[in-house]
Structure 1
């Protein structure tokens, strides 16, 4: 091979001058013409929304076992966006979970320490706050609605995937009303599914419609590799509009609750034991709507567990997991009455329970 290459070079050098150009002129650039209308719209959308998006880095305090010195180490990061002129920043709960401090980087290069205002793990939402006297707050992202979204609509995500700040990705609404299990509480419901690329670092950033309005908060991906595989999820803006004002006002979200307790792991075991698909009531809170309605909890005896009431449906829709039951209650308001379908001693019955205020 080496001998062939040397021979080729020798032939080229000895080729007649007519086969070689004395000068090599650059190619003429072909005029592009105007950008397509959809390209211009996308560029304008990004320019208008970019300043509203922030990059969040978090640190965690740790103590050295030997020296007892306390110091901070990097923990992670994500995205967020400006909510209002008071400097509130909306992001995901999992972006700041376990952190002891957070720093916000704005699109103009400024950095600011953030204060935690409130969190809702049930919705994977958190609110931070920046600013103070003389601190200029960037523009707010316009608010849209999610109840009228349709599969096939164009959507745009802005965030900081893998630390590549202020990245725009485009896709469509792939599906609506998706649910994801939540190990620490109620399922996360009513999620928007999209194929717009969402990667680590995009979490907490805005999902926008083609009018540049907020329609969701990017929250998770489904991917065996941990990178975008075309299945991403966003908390719908209608949920954000219900939760964030509560977090700003009180620091927490008061969720509607029946006043019962259960556990999905224990529940699965009881379902297998008794051959019943539903939510076994393990405890009834004193003074709750469930107690006033007469719900009965399971009892432990020397012979094992004696089941009490088993909730099999909420408002006529079947339920089989406690996390799913809790999440569905979020569609109602505190003080509102809901209809439960129960199995009690093998008999099916319906009762009405007034919802109280639960805690996360």
Structure 2
């Protein structure tokens, strides 16, 4: 009994001695070193940093204002309206942004990456694609003017992308992610549907609108335009206008101030086509074929009125191998193409199907 009691006391003394030494500052073994970083991760980080440094100076912050009139003095002034992002397009000071950034604005200021704030005016708008072009006024532009390289080739789901902009006014913010999906459609202003958008999980928030979406090499692949978010902040679902649309629309905005898609040289009636579709007919009824036109030479037959009812002629059911069910489908497919491009148009008439080739013309 005494031996076991002595043993227990000895164990307690050893434990007490251990803790006494521990709290008295006795040295402990150093922590194990962190494992070395992956060489691949370091390379990816270096690439991201290089892309940001290369593209940063081409991105601008945009603030807009609206003209106000004092109801008592009738004096006019300017009140802050909103903010967004954009990027430099060419050496003459054109800036690409979203149409909704400058909508209802009477004035705009562009802040460059070097801190300068310069007045800008609206050159052109394309609400159907949520794109707009400003031009910096004056001659105080940096030389050479930094611009992003235009990307080429088809995007792939899973491809890395980077977004630069001014979310919530936090200027020149970089976020990264991947291409989550392609060919997304979103409702736009005035009931328009914006088609063919890129979906990305790169964080996009209010203020990012109009900023560039870049690939891993720093090439422009889209213009950030919208988010899907019940809370109003990024939920990992952002959308961008693809660069193929930007490259088609922006030069026309710069040249003419508006964007007009090409046409087939045929006439359609939106109201009557919608009524026909509601009756169960899929496709687009042709209502007008100009005399002497390519379409007339191809034998396209328009619908006509006879005996108090509509006698259908040719119905367009496909273009370029893509089926079309409504006039909106047809116009969206035409809008993806350029003036002078030849397209194969699939027609149906009284159960017979045939194909003709037509050259897209400049719209009016």
Say yes or no: TM over 0.5: yes
Who is 2:209 aligned against? Answer: 203
Check conservation: 1:173, 1:195, Cα contact below 8 A: yes
Of 314, 318, 321, the match for 1:313:
318
1:148 Cα offset (Å): 3.5
**TM-score of the two chains, using structure 1 as the length reference:** 0.77
- Show the counterpart of 1:212: 218
239-248 or 86-95, which deviates more: 239-248
Looking at structure 1, the residues matched to 247 and 236 of structure 2 have their Cα atoms a distance apart, in angstroms, of 27
Residue 50 in 1 paired to residue 21 in 2? no
Separation (CA, whole Å) in 2 of partners of 1:146 and 1:190 = 16
In the alignment, which residue of structure 1 is the partner of 2:14?
none
Q: Distance in 2 between matches of 1:58 and 1:105?
A: 11
**1:96 counterpart = 2:102:** yes
Contact 1:190-1:235 within 8 A present in 2 as well: yes
Describe how 1:49-198 pairs up with structure 2 within 5 A: 49-63=55-69, 68-136=74-142, 139-180=145-186, 188-198=194-204
**Is the 1:258–1:353 contact (alpha carbons within 8 Å) kept by the matching residues of 2?**
yes
4+ residue segments displaced more than 6 Å: 28-35, 285-288
Q: Secondary structure at the match of 2:179?
A: strand
How far is the alpha carbon of 1:343 from its aligned partner? 3.5
Equivalent residue number for residue 4 of structure 1 = none
Classify the secondary structure of the residue corresponding to 1:86: coil
Does 1:339 pair with 2:344?
yes
Q: Is residue 334–residue 355 contact of structure 1 (8 Å, CA) maintained in 2?
A: yes
RMSD after superposition = 3.6
Mapped to 2, the partners of 1:93 and 1:300 lie a distance apart of 45
Q: Matched residue pairs, number?
A: 333
Give the match's secondary structure for 2:362: strand
Q: Gaps (5+ residues) in structure 2?
A: 1-19, 25-29
- Secondary structure of 1:257's aligned partner: coil
User: Which residue does the alignment assign to 1:14?
Assistant: none
Residue matched to 2:16: none
Matches of 1:200 and 1:290 in 2, distance apart? 46
CA contact under 8 A between 2:210 and 2:223: conserved in structure 1? Answer: yes
Tell me how far 1:262 sits from its aligned partner.
Answer: 3.6
TM-score by length of 2: 0.77
Unaligned runs of 5+ in 1: 1-17, 23-27
Deviations 1:130-186 (A, max 9, x none): 153343257423314242432212111011122222111110111233344556698
